[in-house]
Structure 1
Amino acid sequence: MAEFSRLVVPKPPRSSNENQQQKESVYWRSFKSPTFLKSYAPITHVHFSPSSPHRYVVTSGTRLQIYSPKTNRVVKTISRFKETATSGEIRGDGKLCIAGDEGGLVQVFDINSRAILRTIRAHKQAVHTTKFSPGSGTQLLTTSSDTTVRLFDLSTSAPLRTFSSHTDYVRTASFVHSSPSLVFSGGYDSTVRLWDARVPDAEGSGCVWVGRHGKPIDQVLVGEQGTMAVSAGGPIVRVWDLLGASTSRSNAALDGGFDAEADAEVDDAGEVDTGTQYCLKALSNHQKAITSLCWAETENGEKRVLSGGLDGLVKVYDPQENWRVRHTMRYGGQVMSLAVSPNNSHLVAGLSDGSLSIRTRAGAGRKAGVPVEKVTPSFDAMLAGMGHGGIVYSGKQAGEGLKATYEGEVKVTKERRRKLTEWDRMLKNFRYGDALDSALRQDVTPATTFALLEELIRRDGLPIALANRTDLTLEPVLSFLVKHITHPRYSVLAVDVASVLVDIYTPTLGLSPLIDTLFTRLRRKIDDELDFQRELTQVQGALDMVFASSAPLRV
């Protein structure tokens, strides 16, 4: 016997923006199978190595832990800090790691041996940022609660520059990748500053531009081209034009010793406005303070900016579409740190309760055009898999049943039969009137109700469903038609249903004031729609004449 076919509700057509939004959401939902690892302290920083295999370092408490992206397990642990560690990052070649602590200490480690290569004690208070310079990574960038931004030479640990124009804790800073002599920083004085290491100390502090964010700043992010930067302070994200700021004021600093504070303008409220005119966009999509920013890419190679906040949300922004929010991800706690792997295979978030959330995207690391080999697993492999949550291994090691890559795992699940809806059960039993009544409830969408009406027409069951009704059971049908008969998507079907009602209940008109009133409203609404369509036709004809008279004559 053939299986009963459930009612199919057609989906409305989507606009191009809705389709793009849907594709974006599908891509970010492909980061599945989250792994949660628990630490004894909040996860304050996560950073991926730019070089393959893209190991990532997690900063938590007094230690740094380096994870393998294939197994999501710790491969190295560095516990060389007496104070709480901060901002652990890996150099571009994947060989060195740098971190600071709340005591002002900065240390550089060899990842393989975990040996301390450099120790810097220049800061007097907590260090919040430690970074290697772009490229060869021969310089170090640090920020501290002592209100300074410092540059050091990696080979000698000698200080190169000290930028000290901030008036409060400097929480974050970043090199401008296209011009490593420029540094972009943000602090608790609610300002972002652009520094130029080429400016001599004798001619000023090196600050060539200042922008006012309005809130204490926790994170900054600089674009790869160096023309744009993002700052996050409080629940606000601001986008800055670095190209305009650096070209107009860096040259002035090199020529005449530009003083950022002296060049500041005073607005109507008496506050100093130093470069806020270079703010391209201000966004407020979080409910609480934003703690992390990072770059990511889509399948098409389009750049995205991710922000994580204390409200437990991660927002995905599209810089090409006026910084529209393309997707939102929810976490079970306050997001303290966030990072996406360079090959877009891992999305790692650190939470304030010490949880590390690792989401992986299957197939992200595979090369395009290379088919994935699938081998039927042996009986031993199936037994090994079933003992661990129903996972069956596939790939080259499937026959052995002991090993499998994280990309080759296949989950075996039992197919679940969907329960029939109320109207489906009634259609199955040929109770057409009851099926229509169940689809006329307020919690049912109009698309579902009209899909049921169309199914009744296909089964020649519409007259059966509408006949033999009292004024109380006929009222929901007429009210529904009065509401939707002029809707462009449903008007044709609604008119067909109204015609059947008129044929059935014309002899009973005058017996129920309620039904008479609803039929009168239905006719009046149809008459108003016909008058409106006639007016539209007249306007269309007039416009056609205007367009025809304005068209150039062809010789």
Structure 2
Amino acid sequence: MAEFKRTNAQIYAKTANILSPDTIYWKKLGVPTLVKEFGAIDFIDFSPVEPFLFAVTASVRVQIYNPVTKLVVKNITKFQEGAHGGSFRNDGNLLVAGDDLGKVRLFDVSTKSILRFFEGHKAPVYRTSFNADGHHVSSFSDDKTVRYWDIATENHIMTFSEHTDYIRAGCTSPISPDIIISGGYDKKINMYDTRMKQKVLTLDHGSPVESLIFLPSGGIFISAGGTSVNVYDALAGGRKIAQLSQHHKAVTCLQLASDGKRLLSGSLDRHVKIYDVATYQVVHTIDNPNAVLSLGVSKNDDTLVTGMVDGLIAIHRRDSNKDKEDPQTDRVKGRSRYDNIFENADDTIAEFRYAKIAQFDRMLKKYEYSKALDSVMIPIIANKTPEKTVALIKDLIRRKGLQRALQNRPHFFLAKFITFLTRNIGDYRFTPALVDAANILLDVYEDDFEQFIGTDVGKMFILLSRRLKKEEQIIDDFQQLHGLIEMISSAADISVGSHDSDDQEGVVNEELHASLKAQKQAIINID
């Protein structure tokens, strides 16, 4: 007896995810370790020297973590009010931070003692930064000023008062000790030169500026604010090079990785986007449990830390161990030395198993067409895998059994079947089969339309009619467009082979159009 031929439900595969080198590289950071702090994580900064400790500024303290053990090794708590913007000097020996009282403190990292105490701001200082020479500090405050301090003498050297709103972002050039940039809630980005003692450049970001960063060359800087990240060329008068809009909520922080070849942006949408600085394309995305306020990356990319609004710190650490061995290899290595004694002693006969057949195929095998149609009209199949339902409908049409399967059906089934047709008839994969199914449905109930007038099924037929009219209009528009393309192709003297393929496509469209018109005429009385 011949084997039963199963219904061929064509599966339309999703687009494959391509594993790029960047994706593989950043996925090796693994599952993060979560640490709870006492308040929202204001700022994270890594020491530029080994062992690449990182400072987390939150609440009224700056805590310094070891990235390997993920434990606090230094705890700086000499703040009376909230601390902000704790950042390391380029030798890792000093740390500077501002606070809610407008004071700027300079600490010795090894002893945690205060070395310098800068006073002068009238409002909270949210960002602080060492200048490139390591002998000066710049501070950015809510009093709308940027101040420039000398570490050796503990003196205030100059003040820049160019902003008209809070200053929440700022940084210094990595190569020039005299260049400072600041970003404020007035949407402006200002660049200052301490040699000229004045502002030398002003740009409009378009949104309140939350973060600023220089590329290692010092000629390009990047700003974050609103949902966009803007890239500017400082040497070309602040010309905008690129605008990156990959987040759907405010971007709060920026960092560089891979020696300045990768840019990271954190946002309130819980994502950290990683860009290739050469192309400004996203190469990887890291999800977080909550909105991201700050992030930091170690110099060797082995540690990535994100700080969130709820006080959580996510510490991603690259596993330095070798990749785990294949489980099959582990099983073979773990075998007993006696296992191979009887390895070939007996011939093993594979257990015979019947091939599993889907329920609708079992019904088709018994010629129970109504039950087969019922089995694919359940929501879990009709909604999630409509290709299976359409495959069965095509098989029933081929067997000339769909008419029998649709006869004497209750109103609720007809409503469900018509809803399926209306929802999926516009899908180019299913249109030919579902148009034929709609024709058969109308043929079955052509003489009984009167019983549906004023009922839910009658309304469904009207919706189907409107849907078919819409599809017919689409086909009409497509044929007009196709005619125009043929005229252009003829004028351009396209090869004969192209004309042949166009003619075949035109025949298919004419057949579909004729079928839709016949369908429209058949149900015109219902509308």
Tell me, yes or no, whether TM beats 0.5.
yes
SS of corresponding position for 1:467: helix
Aligned to 1:487: 427
Letter in 1 for 2:34: F
Residue 450 of structure 1: how far off its partner (Å): 1.9
The equivalent position to 1:239 in structure 2, one of 230, 246, 261, is: 230
SS of corresponding position for 2:493: helix
Residue 435 of structure 1: how far off its partner (Å): 1.8
Matched, 1:357 2:294: no
The 2-side partners of 1:210 and 1:157 are apart by 31
RMSD: 5.2
Residue 438 of structure 1: how far off its partner (Å): 0.8
SS of corresponding position for 2:139: strand
Question: Contact 2:232/2:242 (CA < 8 Å) preserved in 1?
Answer: yes
**Structure 1 residues 89 and 478 mapped into 2: Cα distance closer, same or farther (>3 Å)?**
same
The 2-side partners of 1:140 and 1:193 are apart by 17
Residue 181 of structure 1: how far off its partner (Å): 2.6
The 2-side partners of 1:534 and 1:103 are apart by 72
The equivalent position to 1:544 in structure 2, one of 489, 497, 505, is: 489
Letter in 2 for 1:437: M
The 2-side partners of 1:461 and 1:25 are apart by 47
How many residue pairs were aligned?
442
Q: Can you give the 5+ residue segments of structure 1 that lack an aligned partner in the other structure?
A: 200-204, 249-274, 377-422, 551-555
Letter in 2 for 1:241: Y
Written as runs of structure 1 = structure 2, the 5 A alignment for 1:287-302 is 292-295=252-255
Aligned to 1:162: 158
Residue 437 of structure 1: how far off its partner (Å): 1.8
SS of corresponding position for 2:447: coil
The 2-side partners of 1:84 and 1:530 are apart by 66
Aligned to 1:419: none
The 2-side partners of 1:69 and 1:459 are apart by 64
**Structure 1 residues 532 and 93 mapped into 2: Cα distance closer, same or farther (>3 Å)?**
same
Q: Deviations over 1:436-464 (max 9, x none)?
A: 2214988x15xx21234326767999766
Question: Contact 1:123/1:144 (CA < 8 Å) preserved in 2?
Answer: no
Aligned to 1:438: 378
**Structure 1 residues 524 and 314 mapped into 2: Cα distance closer, same or farther (>3 Å)?**
closer
Aligned to 2:42: 44
Written as runs of structure 1 = structure 2, the 5 A alignment for 1:64-463 is 64-111=62-109, 113-116=110-113, 118-125=115-122, 126-134=124-132, 137-145=134-142, 147-154=144-151, 156-157=152-153, 159=155, 161-166=157-162, 169-187=166-184, 190-199=187-196, 205-212=197-204, 217-232=209-224, 235=226, 237=228, 239=230, 241-243=232-234, 247-248=236-237, 292-295=252-255, 303-309=262-268, 313-314=270-271, 316=273, 329=287, 331-332=289-290, 335-353=292-310, 355-360=311-316, 363=319, 372=323, 374=325, 431-439=371-379, 444-445=383-384, 448-454=385-391
Question: Contact 2:136/2:150 (CA < 8 Å) preserved in 1?
Answer: yes
Question: Contact 1:186/1:193 (CA < 8 Å) preserved in 2?
Answer: yes
**Structure 1 residues 301 and 207 mapped into 2: Cα distance closer, same or farther (>3 Å)?**
closer
Letter in 1 for 2:255: W
The 1-side partners of 2:303 and 2:403 are apart by 56
Aligned to 2:404: 467
SS of corresponding position for 1:510: helix
Q: Deviations over 1:248-307 (max 9, x none)?
A: 5xxxxxxxxxxxxxxxxxxxxxxxxxx9x96975969666x76x3113569x99634414
Residue 512 of structure 1: how far off its partner (Å): 4.0
Q: Deviations over 1:139-180 (max 9, x none)?
A: 4322345544334455x2455842322355543321133544
Question: Contact 2:216/2:260 (CA < 8 Å) preserved in 1?
Answer: no
Letter in 1 for 2:107: F
Residue 323 of structure 1: how far off its partner (Å): 8.5
Written as runs of structure 1 = structure 2, the 5 A alignment for 1:21-36 is 33-36=31-34
The equivalent position to 1:11 in structure 2, one of 13, 37, 55, is: 13
Aligned to 1:61: 59
Q: Can you give the 5+ residue segments of structure 2 that lack an aligned partner in the other structure?
A: 1-6, 328-356, 365-370, 496-527
Residue 358 of structure 1: how far off its partner (Å): 0.5
Question: Contact 1:346/1:358 (CA < 8 Å) preserved in 2?
Answer: no
SS of corresponding position for 1:293: strand
SS of corresponding position for 1:97: strand
The 2-side partners of 1:30 and 1:467 are apart by 58
SS of corresponding position for 1:548: coil
Residue 57 of structure 1: how far off its partner (Å): 0.7
TM-score (norm 2): 0.64
**Structure 1 residues 100 and 441 mapped into 2: Cα distance closer, same or farther (>3 Å)?**
same
The 1-side partners of 2:477 and 2:112 are apart by 82
The 1-side partners of 2:301 and 2:445 are apart by 68
Question: Contact 1:350/1:356 (CA < 8 Å) preserved in 2?
Answer: yes
Q: Using the aligned pairs only, state the percent identity.
A: 23
Question: Contact 2:396/2:402 (CA < 8 Å) preserved in 1?
Answer: no
The 2-side partners of 1:463 and 1:123 are apart by 90
Residue 547 of structure 1: how far off its partner (Å): 1.3
The 2-side partners of 1:522 and 1:63 are apart by 64
